[in-house]
Structure 1
Amino acid sequence: MKSPMTPRTQAFNNLGGEEAGHGGYYSNVPTGGNAWYGPPQTHEGTITVSPVMEQDEYYSSHEGKGKAPGWGVILLRNKMSENAVNHIVCVGAVYIDTILTYVLAPCGLAENKAPTNRQTSSVPHFPIEDEKLRAKSITRRRGGNTANSLEVLLQLQQHDPETARKPQSTDLHLLAVLPDEDSAASKFICESLPQVKISDVSLFRKQHQEAASSYIIQSEENRSRTIISINQLPEMQGGEFIQQVCNFTGGSGGKEQGWEKAWFHFEGRVPEITLLCVRFLREQFPHFNISVECEKPERTGMAEVAQYADAVFYSKLWAEKNGYTDAKSFLEDRRSETRDGAILCCTWGSGGA
């Protein structure tokens, strides 16, 4: 039995949010009881802790209901902290998102007349072909799973009091394919993540000036969000990844360059290339942690990549396309397909993660 008021328990309690049946976390342990990850739960006045779980990983006896928001971030942050990770490298794509805000003329107003009492809003419906809409402003921002993950990690570092007390901080790195380093697009991306190491880690395509881009239309009628994306940058190849890693770690396991412990997170854009990358890390840097995303079901090869990972993030869509209607049964069946001790996470929309 452990006290319910450990610092990490307090972190769970302070998350807020409504009670919900969430997706959940499993630790793929070789032996021992149920490895369902839930918040501290009281049973007959006490908290039961699974013998296979650490102090911030609690056994839940009631199907894991609890406060879902933010669990994955806190859980992985704790894992990184406990393992004294001094480098986190996020591998994937970075997009520049363009979002339009429209000014719509009142109903019945002729197109050639100046409108009055203009309404500024999102698109009320998906644009009809050949329809003319007047835009009021353009919002341009940096997006993409990889860059967004780094931004969240930066925020955690800034708000974590433990970070200030540690003698060595965790450096964040972005390994992505970007246009020419002197291009406006690359400068925009680098300026959006000033505390992330990019120039010495990422690959810059000198013959390209435009980054991967998305154009977003949001409909108020049915709350849909339509995204049109374009990416003309050649994808990173396995050999390029290997060369970059050897360059910035110094090779030979990286320990001589201060890479004693590192965490590599893969968006998993091209399964065949991602598989080559994680195999290389397992062989040459066995002390590194690896996490991967299995988000898009059409990327079936990511299931094999997941076998090499210490943490796997599955999407609800991935689970549903594989015939599951709930996260718990899906994650239970994944335990035999992944590494011993792996953290398996599944997001489930309003049900949490």
Structure 2
Amino acid sequence: MKNQKLVCVGACYVDTILDVPQYPGEDSKLRATNLQVRRGGNCPNTLEVLQQLLKERNDGGRDIKPYLISCLPSADAPATATIVDSFGPESLVDFTRCIFREDQRQPASSYIIRSEATGSRTLVNYNDLPEMTIGEFVAAADELGDDAWFHFEGRIPEITLQCIRHLRRSFSNTRVSVEVEKPGREGLEDLAAEADVVFYSRTWAESKRYGSAQQCLSAQSGVGRKATVGAGDTFIAGMLFGLLCHHEDWDTEKKVQFAVQLATRKVQRDGFGGLGSLGLERQEVASSQ
């Protein structure tokens, strides 16, 4: 059987997470209760969960080939090795289409302070890596050929729109999904109009003054080709798994149920480890219904 290609396009971060009793005041000192350093980024997180789901299948996920297109530091930088190694020794993800900035040694970074008192997260990003250009995307995407699924984070809508339109012009069988996440980011609805599947975040919907998910979908149904609602990297992984691996035996309701149940398990734990086996349980339940 010919491999299906899933290509995720988005930023990859190294996250430094500090847990603190309460958020510190300005010009104050506070001792953290825990420190974690791990890889982050919407698309890498989605791929981490998706590869767990694929590995739990009887065929080990060999009929689906996941790719990441992301700007990374130099290929020989320790930070790049850390990012690649974070997917495990038997990773299914192909990094050869990533864009390596050979004059850069530091990754895009996020510094996250989590308050135990309120449960809030305060996040500061730093990214000195030049963003992907349309020419760089074309060079990476054209090597993959036709009949692939491209999923876009939608960070820089004007570039992402050019990327999607290139795929539409060049490959008749390519399918496209996008995330509409950040409130106030201009151009996201233009992306939705070009995509086959759209993942709307709750914060974006609320910023548009939609009172419910149903209201958001009803209003946006005339924008996108086929609108699917969702929030969270794990939810997206579950939906992509359903769309790619169960496109014939699961209807849309079952795909959404599986993704929601998987995301519910995610919020009950820290990190993304161990979700593959939980997802397999949900998959068996969905298939039996």
Note whether the superposition's TM-score is higher than 0.5: yes
1:185 aligned to 79, 85, 89, which one? 79
Structure 1 CA distance for aligned equivalents of residues 52 and 112 of structure 2: 25
Superposed displacement of residue 132, structure 1: 2.2
Q: CA deviation at 1:177?
A: 0.4
2:138 alignment partner AA = I
Q: 1:291: Cα distance to partner?
A: 0.3
Deviations 1:145-190 (A, max 9, x none): 01001011101102233x45x8x51111000000111111111111
List alignment gaps of at least 5 residues for structure 2: 236-259, 264-289
| Secondary structure of the corresponding residue to residue 194 of structure 2 | coil
- Any conservation in 2 of the 1:313–1:346 contact (CA below 8 Å)? yes
* In 2: Cα distance, 1:138 partner to 1:225 partner: 14
Indicate conservation of the 8 Å contact 1:327/1:346, yes or no. Answer: no
Q: How is 1:116-265 mapped onto 2 (pairs within 5 angstroms)?
A: 122-135=19-32, 138-161=35-58, 163-164=59-60, 169-193=63-87, 194-198=91-95, 200-246=96-142, 248-249=143-144, 254=145, 259=146, 261-265=147-151
* Map of 2:6 onto structure 1: 88
TM-score where L is the length of structure 1: 0.62
Equivalent residue runs for 1:1-353 within 5 Å: 86-100=4-18, 122-135=19-32, 138-161=35-58, 163-164=59-60, 169-193=63-87, 194-198=91-95, 200-246=96-142, 248-249=143-144, 254=145, 259=146, 261-339=147-225, 342-347=226-231
Pair member with larger Rg: 1
Distance across 1 between alignment mates of 2:231 and 2:37: 28
Deviation string for 1:47-96 (max 9, x for gaps)? xxxxxxxxxxxxxxxxxxxxxxxxxxxxxxxxxxxxx8611000000010
Change (3 A) 1:301 1:218: same
Q: In the aligned structure 1, how far is the partner of 2:137 from the partner of 2:86? A: 23
Structure 2: distance between partners of 1:210 and 1:134: 26
- Give the total of aligned pairs: 232
Quote the Cα distance in structure 2 between the aligned partners of 1:188 and 1:237.
25
SS at structure 2 position matched to 1:269: coil
Once residues 273 and 314 of structure 1 are traced to their aligned partners in structure 2, the CA distance between those partners, rounded to angstroms, is 19
Identity %: 44
CA contact under 8 A between 1:331 and 1:346: conserved in structure 2? no
**1:337 is paired with a residue of what secondary structure?**
coil
Q: TM-score, normalised by structure 2?
A: 0.75
Segments of structure 1 that go 5 or more residues without pairing to the other structure are 1-83, 101-121
Query: Secondary structure of 2:222's partner?
Result: helix
Question: Shift in Å at residue 242 of structure 1?
Answer: 0.7
Alpha-carbon distance change, 135 to 308 in structure 1, aligned in 2, over 3 angstroms: same
- Aligned-pair RMSD on alpha carbons? 2.2
Structure with greater helix percent: 2
